[in-house]
Amino acid sequence: MGSPTFNLDEFIGQKYRQGFFTPLESDTVPHGLDENVIRLISEKKGEPAFMLDWRLQAYRHWLTMTEPKWSSVKYPPIDYQAISYYSAPKSKKVGPRSLDEVDPELLRTYEKLGVPLAEREMLAGVAVDAVFDSVSVATTFKAKLAELGIIFSSFSDAVKEYPELVQKYLGSVVPYTDNYFACLNSAVFSDGSFCYIPPGVRCPMELSTYFRINARNTGQFERTLIIADKGAYVSYLEGCTAPMRDENQLHAAVVELIALEDAQIKYSTVQNWYPGDKNGKGGIYNFVTKRGECRGDNARISWTQVETGSAITWKYPSVVLRGDNSIGEFYSVALTNNHQQADTGTKMIHLGKNTRSTILSKGISAGHGHNAYRGLVKVAKSAVNARNYTQCDSLLLGDQCAAHTFPYIEVKNPGAQIEHEATTSRIGEDQLFYCQSRGLSAEDAVAMIVNGFCKEVFKELPMEFAVEAQKLLGISLEGSVG
């Protein structure tokens, strides 16, 4: 007997209902990687010679590297020769033909999130020739930006149209020698976004990959380059709260941000790639290199990320604080459920005088999830009067999950002020019962507590994004939308 009460293990153990069957991609170059494949990619994209040279240099360097093993994430060996490195733009032959063929659970998620119909098709990978509503939106949008001299285009277009800008800045924050995955990306990157804000211009709207229709199938090796010239400001949104369908298991993107004197870049990410099933099968490996450089004085770069998807998330959005008085910020929510793993954090490299950085990391682990914060705060000898504040909080749901914190602090200047705070807490049965006895369902109670835990990070997100992110956390924890 006894009343039917909430069972936490059962709740967090619910299966990921957004799973879907993935049809095979057919229009691709053969599997494997050699110089010919790289030449082929560059040729198909009609790239100038400097781009091909750079790709080949990266490839040759990559051959000398070995895959890093230092993170806390575990995955079977990746066969790099089994990956196809180029996919032609999708035709109607691949993917579901209409929403009728898409997993109804996925559609219900979109509905719950309030995703407009036309965008649902795009997200679900329905092979439509054009997404009409969004195209018109994107066109007016682009015209408005052009008036201000803002360049916002696909990476492929930028390489052809603004080669001198690309050549000047590409690899200047993340050189191809940086790490194994960034190097691979440099050799084979498919497409991505390019954005340049001219001096003194404040970008009047949040730039989003969402509007960038012409580059929507950027796939697994995405490359983003954002430059805010002197005194410019831009807020950039990456990703989408709705679960994204993708064929490729390995994602190795590179994002480079450059903020010149007095410039500010805000980069917000909501990442919800397929996390794999309840037993940890399938799901995306998200191995991303993101780094920004405050190249001029008084520059400011903020990373805000909400990571709920992917089987493995491995990324450290970082800021190099080169300019004097420059500011770096990192706000992160990473949620792992079922068998998801996350090893994420940041690096704040203080080089300039009076540089400041703030790190606020919130890790949530449920199910068998593993969540690690790994962060480096480095203060060079030149960084007089540097300050850092770091706060790492972990929240545990259930007793099968894990949270780790690996803070690294290297200080070469005795005048630096470094603070580090860390807490670990657990959602208790007593808290859930208390909320239930006030009429809230256990699911709502968990969502409420988790959202409360993440509040400080959400307030850094642009408004609509914040609202969506809140809903997303609830859904990710339920594993259902019902």
78 lies in the site for another protein, by CB under 8 A = no
Among 4, 76, 77, 414, binds another protein (CB under 8 A): 4
Which one, 327 or 450, has the nearer CB to another protein?
A: 450
Which one, 417 or 423, has the nearer CB to another protein?
A: 423
380 lies in the site for another protein, by CB under 8 A = no
Among 177, 214, 431, 480, binds another protein (CB under 8 A): 431
Among 433, 467, 474, 480, binds another protein (CB under 8 A): 433
Rounded to a whole number, what is the distance in angstroms from the first to the last CA of the chain? 27
Which one, 319 or 364, has the nearer CB to another protein?
A: 364
Neighbours of 172 (CB within 10 A): 14
Q: In 301-436, which residue ranges form alpha helices assigned H by DSSP?
A: 429-436
CB of 428 to another protein, least distance (A): 8
438 lies in the site for another protein, by CB under 8 A = yes
449 lies in the site for another protein, by CB under 8 A = yes
Among 118, 402, 440, 467, binds another protein (CB under 8 A): 440
159 lies in the site for another protein, by CB under 8 A = no
Among 167, 217, 436, 480, binds another protein (CB under 8 A): 436
Kindly indicate which of the ranges 98-106, 328-336, 399-407, 451-459 contains the residues binding another protein, using the contact rule CB under 8 A.
Answer: 451-459
Q: Are 124 and 102 in contact (CB under 8 A)?
A: yes
Distance CA 233, CA 204 (A): 9
Identify which of 271, 339, 334, 270 has the alpha carbon closest to the alpha carbon of residue 75. 339
277 lies in the site for another protein, by CB under 8 A = no
Among 207, 435, 461, 475, binds another protein (CB under 8 A): 435
421 lies in the site for another protein, by CB under 8 A = no
Q: Are strands 151-154 and 327-336 parallel, antiparallel or unpaired?
A: unpaired
SS3 354: coil
Residue entry with tokens 């993440």? 454
Kindly indicate which of the ranges 60-68, 184-192, 202-210, 422-430 contains the residues binding another protein, using the contact rule CB under 8 A.
Answer: 422-430
Kindly indicate which of the ranges 1-9, 81-89, 119-127, 180-188 contains the residues binding another protein, using the contact rule CB under 8 A.
Answer: 1-9
**Beta bridge partner(s), residue 227:** 196, 258
Q: How far is CA 5 from CA 8, 283, 364, in A?
A: 10, 32, 23
Q: What are phi and psi of 83, to 5 degrees?
A: -95, 140
Distance CA 67, CA 376 (A): 21
441 lies in the site for another protein, by CB under 8 A = yes
Structure tokens at 455: 């509040």
Which one, 317 or 398, has the nearer CB to another protein?
A: 398
Distance CA 167, CA 171 (A): 8
- In the chain, what's the furthest Cα-to-Cα distance? 75
Binding site for another protein (CB under 8 A): 1-6, 425, 428-431, 433-442, 444, 448-449, 451-455
